[in-house]
Amino acid sequence: MVYDYYPGCTLKSKASRFDISAVKAAEALGAEMREIPEWQCCGGVYPMACDEIAHRLPSVRALNEAKNNGRDLLTVCSACYHVLKSVNYDMKNSMDVRSKTNSYLEYEKEYKGETRVVHYLEMLRDDIGFDAVSEKVVNPLKELKIAPYYGCLILRPSKIIGFDDAENPVTMENFIKALGGDPVVYPFRNECCGGYAVAEDKAIAEKKSREIIECAKKHGADMMITACPLCMYNLKKYADIPIKYFTEILCEALGIEADGE
Amino acid sequence: MTEYDLSLEAIRMSGVYPERCMKCGKCSGACPSYGEMEYHPHQFVDMISKGRIKELMESDSIYKCLSCFVCVERCPRNVFPANIVEAVRTLSERRQGADRISPDTLTEFIDGDTPQQLLMAVMRKYSK
């Protein structure tokens, strides 16, 4: 199994351990992640205004590269996933966005949203299969109650993102079970951590993050996992239990050493 | 340009149809920033369709939206309230000198753990 890999800006710097652990674990599971050359930052947030064509170009370039390589485009970061998938939806469903973007890019063949965008968790769930992951586990995460934190971007809006049921997701819970861990189901797992608003209003990020952490702890969590470096940043500031990227516990369970920032 | 024309421009930018709204209020009921906002998501939808954009553009409410997409998720009529809030905010920021955070003031919130993702998001969300 070979994927075109879109790491995104943070995975090459502040969240390098997220990138390293993802690549190593995939290797152990028989999946190769080929980083696409000269990828550009997705912008971190999806440009919702439909006249913002330039902000969509980095995503379209990556999507078209994967199309030309005949592969799926794999991401690990929730934000990149959300942006790539939303832009791909526009390229498929908005004549206005599609024609303006293609007129600018002048590819030999129009890009029409053909590429499949895959989140790493979808790769584990749908392509490799959680059962196959489970078979490779050497250090089951026994006696550890792990609270999966989904946040917003990997789930919503589900009519465009389509990762899981946005109100009652199960993918991360099943992922934890596959590693031999005990998933904590708690109502705040898909609430917003405050996101980018932390830049001008630390209080809102603190309030939202604390609510999420307290809720997870109340339901018995010893640890939380996330798929988003910005959620990690917000939660980590106020957490007194470990917060890890989901790929870090995957490496632990598979017996793989992975370091990084 | 009249306020009504400006409202129509925001609606065009949002790419959605506020007149689909059936006033159920689910968007505001689900909004995690409800308590912080002067105007709530359902009011953005209602006011913009009535051509009342100026109050929205001048309100801090446009900066309270976290783009969490809960309103979009729960809307039974595919109105996409978040896109309307974003369109008002974008229109507001595109005015000359209206950047909320500029590259010069960016350093004020950066610490040793700030992810690059946040810097990118801020430049997209708070400046044009």
Largest CA distance in chain A: 56
Q: Any CB–CB contact under 8 A between A79 and chain B? A: yes
Mean pLDDT, rounded, for A6-25: 97
- Using one digit for the tens of pLDDT, what is the confidence trace for B26-69? 999 999 999 999 999 999 999 999 999 999 999 999 999 999 99
Q: What is the pTM of this model?
A: 0.97
Which residues of A fall within a CB distance of 8 Å from B119? Answer: 44
What is the predicted pLDDT for the residue at B92?
A: 96
Kindly state the tokens that stand for A46.
């999806």
Q: Looking at the domain A129-254, which fold is it?
A: Rossmann fold (3.40.50)
Q: What b/e readout covers A81-105, taking b as 16+ CB neighbours within 10 angstroms?
A: bbbbbbbbbbbeeeeebbebbbeee
- Chain A CB contacts of B114 under 8 Å are 14, 233
The pLDDT of residue A96 is: 96
Position A159 scores a pLDDT of 96
In chain B, CATH 1.10.1060.10 covers: 3-95
Domain boundaries of chain A, sorted by first residue = 2-120, 129-254
Q: How far apart are CA B53 and CA B51, in angstroms?
A: 6
Report the percentage of chain A scoring pLDDT > 90. 98
Report how far residue B77's alpha carbon sits from residue A122's, in angstroms, rounded to the nearest whole number: 28
Average pLDDT over residues A58-68: 98
Residue B127 near residue B93, CB atoms below 8 Å: yes
The 3-state secondary structure of B86-105, one letter per residue: HHHHHHHHCCCCCCCCCCCC
Upper half-sphere CA count for residue B62 (Cβ side, 13 Å): 23
User: CB of A18 within 8 A of CB of A9?
Assistant: no
Region B92-115 average pLDDT = 92
Q: Are A190 and A166 in contact (CB under 8 A)?
A: yes
B122 touches chain A (CB under 8 A): yes
pLDDT, position B128: 86
The whole-angstrom separation of Cα A160 and Cα A92 is: 11
Fold of A2-120: Glutathione S-transferase Yfyf (Class Pi); Chain A, domain 2 (1.20.1050)
Q: At what angle do helices B41-49 and B81-93 cross, to 10 degrees?
A: 70
**Whether A13 contacts chain B with CB within 8 A:** yes
- Fold annotation for B3-95: Fumarate Reductase Iron-sulfur Protein; Chain B, domain 2 (1.10.1060)
Mean local confidence (pLDDT), A236-255: 98
- Hey, is the C-beta of A255 within 8 angstroms of any chain B C-beta? no
Predicted complex ipTM: 0.97
Chain A residues with CB-CB distance to B30 below 8 A: none
